[in-house]
Structure 1
C-alpha cells in the first residue's frame, strides 16, 4: 500500500536523514531523496518546497527521536543525585552513537552556508538536554531558572568532556548500535559523573 499523509512525510524524513548523513547536505539532491523514499518529486515538493526546508524538518525529526530516548531525570531514579547522574550518563552514552556524531560533523560543514541549521542541531542535543535537566534541578532545589540552567550546563559539560571531543575527532571509538539505557553501567564511567553531580548539587544545597 502506498504511503500517504503523515506516514509518507515521516518516511521521506527518515530517507532524507540517511542521505544527509551518508553524503552531506551539499551532495544530497531532492531527486536522490525522492528516489530513496520511493516517491515522486511532486509528492516530495508538496511536503517540503526546498532542500533547506527538508533539512530543517529532518533536524526536527532528530529532535523528537533524541528527546524520546533521553527522557527526563526522574525516569531514571527517585533519588536526585542518582537521577541526575544517570541522565547525564545517558547523554554521554547517546553522544557515542555514530549517527549522532555524524550529525554534529554535518552541522560543522553547513555552519557557514546554513547557520540556522547548525544552531538548531546544537539546540537539539545541548540546549534541549540542558533545559530538561534544568527543569528537574529547579524542581528539587530552590533556584531561579537561570541558576538552574547554569548548573545543568556545567554538569552536562563535565560529564561528557573530554570523551565527546575525542569521539568527534575520531580518536575515541563510537558505537553503531542504538545505545541501551539498561547498559549505562558498563558503557559509561558512572563513578566520575556521580562525583561531579554530588559536588555540584551539594554546593547549591549548602548555600
Structure 2
C-alpha cells in the first residue's frame, strides 16, 4: 500500500464534524497502523461487492459505496481509479481468499496430480459459491450496456486463472509429461472445463448453497482423470 491508502480521507466530512475526537476530526490520533488500514480496505471491498451484487453494477454509484463504507469518494478514486477499478479489486480480493495458502505453482515440487488437485478443489469451491453465480449473471446481464464490466471481470478473474495454469504447464518438468501438440493455453482451458463440468447450468438454475466438500472432491477426481487421460504422454 502507498501513502494514499485508506487513512486520512476515510470518513466523510459530516461524520468528522459530529465527533472531533476521532481520527477524522480535529484531534488527529496519528496515522493508522497497517492492520487498521488493511481492515478498512477489506470493509470497503466487502461493502462494494455486496452493493454490486444486490443492486447491479450500473445501479451503484461511488457516492453510494462511499456513504455505506464510511469513506470519502476521493479515497476510492485515489486508491482504485474509479468504479471499474474498485470492481476489479473486489474480484481479485475474492479470488485471493480461496487460493490463500496455496504454494506458487511455478515452484511447487509436489507431484503434478497433487498440485492440480489442490488448485482444482479451490477453483471449484470458488465457482460454486452463490455469490460467484450472482457475479456471473450480473456480468452477462450488464456487459452490453457496461462493456467495462465484462473486461474488468475477465482481466481480474478468468484471465488470471488461465495464465497461472499456463505458466505451470510451461514448466519443463511438467511439459515433458504432456503431449506436445497441445499448447499450455489449450491445456489450461481444457482442465478448467473438465473440472467445472456442467457448471454453466448453475447460472440458469442457481444453487442456494455451495457444493459440499464431498461433491467437490468427486467432481475434481473425475475431471482430473478425464483431463490427464487425454493430455499425458503415453508410455512406450
How many residue pairs get aligned? The number is: 194
Larger Rg over CA atoms = 2
CA distance in structure 2 between the partners assigned to 1:44 and 1:157 by the alignment:
40
Q: 1:135 aligns with which of 167, 190, 203?
A: 167
Q: 2:224 aligns with which of 183, 194, 201?
A: 194
Corresponding position: 1:61 with 2:97: no
Partner of 2:209: 175
Q: CA deviation at 1:184?
A: 4.2
Corresponding position: 1:159 with 2:195: yes
TM normalised by structure 1 equals 0.75
CA distance in structure 2 between the partners assigned to 1:18 and 1:29 by the alignment:
13
- When the two chains are superposed, the root-mean-square deviation of aligned CA atoms in Å is 3.4
CA distance in structure 2 between the partners assigned to 1:58 and 1:104 by the alignment:
13
Q: CA deviation at 1:187?
A: 3.1
CA distance in structure 1 between the partners assigned to 2:158 and 2:118 by the alignment:
16
Q: 2:185 aligns with which of 149, 152, 175?
A: 149
Unaligned runs of 5+ in 2: 1-21, 25-30
| Aligned CA distance change for structure 1 residues 122 and 205 (closer, same or farther; 3 Å) | farther
Higher helix share: 1
Which structure has the higher relative contact order (CA within 8 Å, separation 6+)? 1
Partner of 1:94: 126
Partner of 1:84: 116
Unaligned runs of 5+ in 1: none
Q: Does the CA-based 8 Å contact 1:93-1:188 persist in structure 2?
A: no
